[in-house]
Structure 1
Amino acid sequence: MSQGRSIRLFLIDGTPNGLLTAEIINWSGHVLTGPRSKFAELIQRPECDRSGVYFLMGPDPDGSPLDRVYIGESDDVARRLKEHNRGEHLGGKDFWERACLVTSKDLNLTKAHIKFLETRLIRIAKEAGHSIVVNTADRIFNSLPESDKADMAYFLEQIRIVLPTLGFDFLREVTKPSQLGETSSASTKNVTQSPVFELTSKTHSIKAYGQEIDGEFFVLKNSDASSQWTSTPHSYQKLFERVVSEGALSESVNGLRKFVDDYAFNSPSAAAAVVLGRNANGRTSWFVKDSSLTYAGWQEQQVEASDNSPSDLLHTE
């Protein structure tokens, strides 16, 4: 089992929508975050006079469901944030609504350290694919002694733990079902997984497979999907169109598409709707493979089993 962590949050002005700090016990890092509406107070904080990496996040003005994120570094973060706060015509950035700064409590982060962290963070964010990374070029900085690289690897690991708890999800690692066979991969350790589920539609000759990994419901690669949205307008129709536009579904052949890779959804109903091209209740549409047990029934079994054996909550390979 993975080891628990304690994260200490402090609401600077006593409100949940203001500035806050976050720390992990026995980690030298310090996180400061707040909305753009609190920009004047943010840049007055002493953390903004230190060396650190920072993130600017906000909705995509072009209408993508993914947020935009900019990742930067500076030994004078207050100055850089003031530059970003200008209008686009003055070289600033208009899209961001929240800022986050990571510095060190012991003031031992050097310019070389933060440039190294920035390089790694940009790469990780792009590979994760949770947000649109607006950095125009991939920066490459690797000039650190071996011991410092090890220290920064640990520092980076803590950043990836604390940021999602603050709503900055762009660094979160996703383990796909296809990766679970890579037993030597560190990313697959302590992963919880469900049995494989199956969804069929005899009317449209659709057969799809899904699996829940760490709370996310994946439709598996090569599963069938409807070629188009076939029902009345629904919120899931936009999701269907987005999945198609992302290239996650192949071109229609004989009235069907196929998933070109494992694809994560936030619920079995969202997954079922995209597969069938219409609104659907995923809790009753997905069945444990080769059985008559629905997703809802399987969940109920896990709840009952947890009273006696917590380790049986999820099936593991």
Structure 2
Amino acid sequence: MGKTVTTYLIDGDPQGIQYAFISNKICQMFVIPRSNLAYLNEQEKLHKPAFYILIGEDESTKPQAYIGETENFRERVKDHDNKKLFWQKALIFVSKDADLTKADVQYLEHKAIVSAKKANTFVLSDNEQVPKAPNLPEYRLDTIDEFFEDVKFLASFIGCNIFNLAKPKVEHLFYTKGRGCDATGFYNSDGFTVLKGSVIVPKMGPSFKWKEKREKMLREYTMFKGAKLIMTSDKTFSSPSTAADFCIGSSNNGWLVWKDKDGNTLDSVYRKQLE
């Protein structure tokens, strides 16, 4: 079923302040770069209870995030601006209609941290503990659960995959066994996802071009079980070839080395669709 998302660029800059919401929904997302925090002085909605995510890059291969809740984001972010160095922009979620309560945003924080840890796409160094979920009445649980589904959709809409879980289509699983690896994955609009449990080649060939980055990724996404190096979570790569290079430890044409159970290459399944 289709959805209509309204996005407004406050200052006309695609990389600047914006807000977005789904038609007929109460969840509203503000996206505010760290360099534009002065906007908080103008927006009264952000002086009220809110659920938020701070996102940014660090030296690791995964992006970093902090998930939190507050009764007043404008006041809370002052502390984050002074003490947290990594973040580059804030995603703040509020209600378009009646204000969220303190218990509502605490519940959203609980659900978000659980979901983000399960997805394992961001480093959550400052969210090591999962806060206890507050007791909400049943009618309110339904409302806030629906609100959180909209949070996940809007975050994904702007390219933040912090809650995204890989959803393979069984009929389109692909495999590669180059240099002794035994990896499984699938291809979709996000890229090529290598699935948890895949066996990865530890060593790299002499001509491998991104050794340092691969070594970091191996530390973050794999662990040895006996003599085998195993993926501990799903990982989506921008292209099938990058995924194959990571798994095999050498340069490959991913369109050819990924094959389904019938031996069809990824190329023959996807690139030939229009022929």
1:98 is displaced (CA, Å) by 0.3
TM-score when scaled to structure 1?
0.77
Aligned in 2, Cα 1:196/1:170: closer, same or farther, shift over 3 Å?
A: closer
**SS of residue paired to 1:287:** coil
Give secondary structure in 1 for the equivalent of 2:272: helix
CA contact (8 A) 2:199 2:229 kept: yes
Aligned partners of 2:94 and 2:183: how far apart in 1?
A: 44
CA distance in 2, matches of 1:299, 1:71: 37
User: Which runs of no fewer than 5 residues in structure 2 stay unpaired?
Assistant: none
2:130 counterpart (127, 134, 138): 138
Corresponding residue SS for 2:94: strand
Structure 2 counterpart of 1:96: 87
- Cα distance, 1:213 vs. partner? 5.3
Contact 2:34–2:87 under 8 Å retained in 1? yes
- Distance in 2, matches of 1:31 and 1:167, equals 13
Match for 2:111 among 120, 124, 137? 120
CA-based RMSD of the aligned residues comes to 2.3
In the other structure, the counterpart of 1:54 is: 52
Structure 1: state its 5+ residue gaps: 87-91, 178-191, 305-317
**Number of residue pairs the alignment of both structures matches:** 272
- Give the aligned partner of residue 84 of structure 1: 80
1:162-201 matches, cutoff 5 A: 162-175=154-167, 177=168, 192=169, 194-201=171-178
Distance in 2 between residues matched to 1:213 and 1:296, nearest whole Å:
11
* Structure with greater Cα Rg: 1
Contact 1:119–1:141 at 8 Å: present in 2 too? yes
Q: Percent identity?
A: 27
The corresponding residue for 1:13 is 11
Amino acid at match of 2:77: L
Deviation string, structure 1 residues 15-66 (Cα, Å, up to 9, x no partner): 1121101011111121111211111123432221121111111112xx2111
- Contact kept, 8 Å, 1:208 with 1:220, in 2: the verdict is no
Matched with 1:188 is none
The corresponding residue for 2:203 is 228
| In structure 1, C-alpha distance between the alignment counterparts of 2:3 and 2:64, rounded to whole Å | 28
Q: 1:162 to 1:247 in 2, by over 3 A?
A: closer
CA contact (8 A) 1:210 1:220 kept: yes
Distance in 2 (alpha carbons) for counterparts of 1:260 and 1:100: 30
Specify which of 299, 303, 306 is matched with residue 270 of structure 2: 299
Q: Secondary structure at the match of 2:222?
A: coil
Secondary structure of the 2:66 match is: strand
Match for residue 284 of structure 1 among 250, 256, 265: 256
User: Take 1:48 and 1:296, find their aligned partners in 2: how far apart are those partners?
Assistant: 48
Deviations 1:206-233 (A, max 9, x none): 2534331544434456654323011224
Q: 1:146 to 1:223 in 2, by over 3 A?
A: closer
Question: Structure 1's 271 and 17: CA in aligned 2 closer, same or farther, altered over 3 A?
Answer: closer
| Residue of 241, 262, 265 corresponding to 2:236 | 265
The 5 Å alignment of 1:197-216 reads 197-201=174-178, 204=179, 206=180, 208-212=182-186, 214-215=188-189, 216=191
Equivalent residue for 2:222? 248
Cα distance 1:137–1:200, how it changes in 2: closer, same or farther (>3 A)? closer
Give 1:71's aligned amino acid.
I
TM-score when scaled to structure 2?
0.88
Q: How many angstroms does 1:136 deviate by? A: 4.5
Instruction: Report the CA distance shift for 1:199/1:127 in structure 2 as closer, same or farther (over 3 A).
Output: closer
Counterpart of 1:150, as a letter, is D
Task: Name which structure has the greater RCO, CA cutoff 8 Å, separation 6+.
Answer: 2
Which residue is equivalent to 1:161? 153
**Alignment deviations for residues 271-294 of structure 1 (CA, whole Å, 9 cap, x no partner):** 211232111111122233343x32
